[in-house]
Amino acid sequence: MAQELEKRPGHTRWYISSLLSSMIILNYFDRVAISVAAPAIQDSFQLTATQLGVVFSIYTYSYTLMHLPVGSLLDRFGVAWVTRIGMTIWSLLTVILAFLHGKLLLYIVRFLIGLTSASAFPAASKATALWFPPNERGLANSLFDSAAKFANVIGAPLVAFLVTTYDWRTAFLTIGIMNICFTIFFWWYYEQPDRHKLVSKEELHYIQKHNAVSTEKISERTMDALKTMITNRKAWGLMIGFTGYGYTFNLLLTWLPTFFKETYGLDIMSSGLFTAVPWLISTISGIIVGGWLVDTLIKKGHSNTKVYQTIIVIGMSLGFAFLGAIFTHNIIIAIICISVGLAGISATAPIGWSISADIAPSGSISLLSSMVNLANNLFGGIIAVSLTGYLFDMTGSFTLSFLVAGFVLLLGLVFYLAVLGDIEQIQVSKRK
């Protein structure tokens, strides 16, 4: 309660939060762009449907495989330098993509973009843990997490406009230039709290007083921490719990426009407009419920464990509402069901990043965040996307795919409650 009433000086940490959110939006612009521009790219490179699938999936494979190495790099060398280098390379590669000719080069560049993009979410998670005390971390986490959803709201219309008005190469060139400009600003502005030139002494004191991780402790025992977390039930509870959200998130991220098109006969433009509605609502839900409400309840003295578990139970329970879309022929009802479901699970996503910072061993926040995102992208980004396409080819509908997602959502809820348990820091055993 005393912390709730204490004056919270300065705004630099919130500028940092805005910087991280902008980074995530630009990180997701690439995925939005490749999806919207897919028909034009397919024609330009004379790709078959299978080859186009390789263009989609090769990014996800490299992005997913890079998560454990990048987590270790972030913990060893810090957020600032790893992110600067990663952003510089992926920005230049995005520009290069606009000038490519030849399928092999397209595959290689997409693979490399996936590798260099992998640091974004773990870096945002660790930077937020460094800059924000626990009672403000929920909102800060919700802002960068919701940025991934908001990228669909603004990115799809922007890319569609550039592709239809000019061509797909102009779209990627524009995004690449935006990334380069942002990278220059990020390079100049971002640092950890005790090294930042613009943070006031009062704000730095506030951050350090209430935050156990306000400086980047460099872990010299990465393998020890990794072995501990791989065998720790809390780490697995968080990873599989977060995947319960991620499976449905990635299914809808990839297949929602096609679902509207195939199920309700909508054209591409109408599908895109209808798709934006649930994502906009989920963005708002993530910020208000997963961010502001969580912080407010913690400031009032409620324990982290009770607050997190309550929001997770309510949010994931509401998440099952998206299944209603497969049992109706009314598109308005379907959009309502998907919007409620996506809003529910989106409220739980920022909590996953907060839990990661709370339970990670000292000096290993990025490593655990990367493990969470690896599991999320393995089951959600690869398996969910591929299995959904396979099941649609086999059955001609999305019914079975949605039911599988519902089962994974239930599994995630069970792992959050029964396996993760209380929010306590994982301790690395000392070497003998």
Model pLDDT for residues 331-346, shown as the tens digit of each residue:
999 999 999 999 999 9
Burial of residue 15 (CB within 10 Å: 0-12, 13-18, 19+) is middle
Amino acid at position 40, single letter? A
245 vs 118: CA distance, rounded Å: 19
pLDDT value, residue 68: 72
Distances (CA, A) of 347 to 152, 243, 279, 310: 17, 14, 12, 11
Contacts of 407 (CB under 8 A, 6+ apart): none
Token reading at 259: 């679902």
What's the rounded Cα separation, in Å, for the pair 148 and 117?
Answer: 13
Distances (CA, A) of 64 to 15, 346, 363, 379, 418: 29, 21, 22, 10, 27
Using DSSP's 3-state secondary structure scheme, residue 39 falls into helix
Q: At what angle do helices 67-77 and 79-97 cross, to 10 degrees?
A: 130
Q: Can you count the helices (H) and strands (E) in the chain?
A: 20, 0
Highest mean pLDDT among 75-89, 151-165, 209-223, 255-269: 75-89
How far is residue 309's CA from residue 302's CA, in Å, rounded to a whole number? 12
Q: What letter does residue 360 receive in the DSSP assignment?
A: S
- Write down the pLDDT at residue 304: 87
How many whole angstroms separate alpha carbon 370 and alpha carbon 362?
A: 15
pLDDT for residue 380? 76
Q: What is the pLDDT of residue 213?
A: 54
- The CA distances from residue 346 to 250, 251, 284, in Å, are 12, 14, 9
**Predicted local distance difference test score (pLDDT) of residue 5:** 46
The number of beta carbons lying within 10 Å of the beta carbon of residue 19 is 17
pLDDT 10s digits, 43-98: 888 877 667 767 777 888 888 888 778 877 887 888 899 999 999 999 999 999 99
The answer to whether 351 touches 245, Cβ cutoff 8 Å, is: no
Q: Would you state the structure tokens that stand for residue 125, as one six-digit string? A: 């998670």
Instruction: For residues 308 and 221, give the distance between their C-alpha atoms in angstroms, rounded to a whole number.
Output: 30
- May I ask the CATH architecture of the domain 222-424? Up-down Bundle (1.20)
Mean pLDDT of 410-427: 91
Round the CA-based radius of gyration of the chain to a whole number and report it: 21
Q: Report the alpha-carbon distance of residue 189 to residue 13 in Å, rounded.
A: 12
Q: Dihedrals φ, ψ of 119, to 5°?
A: -80, -15
Predicted confidence (pLDDT) per residue in 4-23, tens digit: 445 667 789 999 999 999 99
Q: Which two tokens stand for residue 32?
A: 């939005």
**Tokens 């969470």, located at residue:** 372
CA nearest 358: which of 310, 420, 409? 420
Residues 103-130 have pLDDT tens digits of 899 999 999 999 999 888 889 988 998 8
**Mean pLDDT to the nearest integer, 228-241:** 91
Q: So what's the pLDDT on residue 49?
A: 62
Q: Which CATH superfamily is domain 11-210 in?
A: MFS general substrate transporter like domains (1.20.1250.20)
| pLDDT greater than 50 at residue 395 | yes
Single pTM value for the model: 0.77
Half-sphere exposure of 314 (CA within 13 A, CB side): 13
The Cα 73–Cα 216 span in angstroms is 12
Closest CA to 118 of 185, 66, 60, 170: 66
**Domain limits, the chain:** 11-210, 222-424
Ramachandran class of 170: left when φ > 0, alpha when ψ lies in -120 to 50, beta otherwise: alpha
Mean predicted lDDT score pLDDT of the chain? 85
- Average pLDDT score over residue span 205-223: 64
Q: Report residue 51 CA to chain centroid gap.
A: 26
Name the 3-class secondary structure at 425.
coil
Q: How far apart are CA 346 and CA 370, in angstroms?
A: 19
| CA pair distance 157, 178, nearest whole angstrom | 16
pLDDT at 231: 86
* Percent of the chain at pLDDT exceeding 70: 93
CB 280 within 8 A of CB 152: no
Angle made by CA atoms 297, 299, 300, in degrees to the nearest 5? 65
Whether 222-424 and 11-210 are alike in CATH topology: the answer is yes
pLDDT at 1: 45
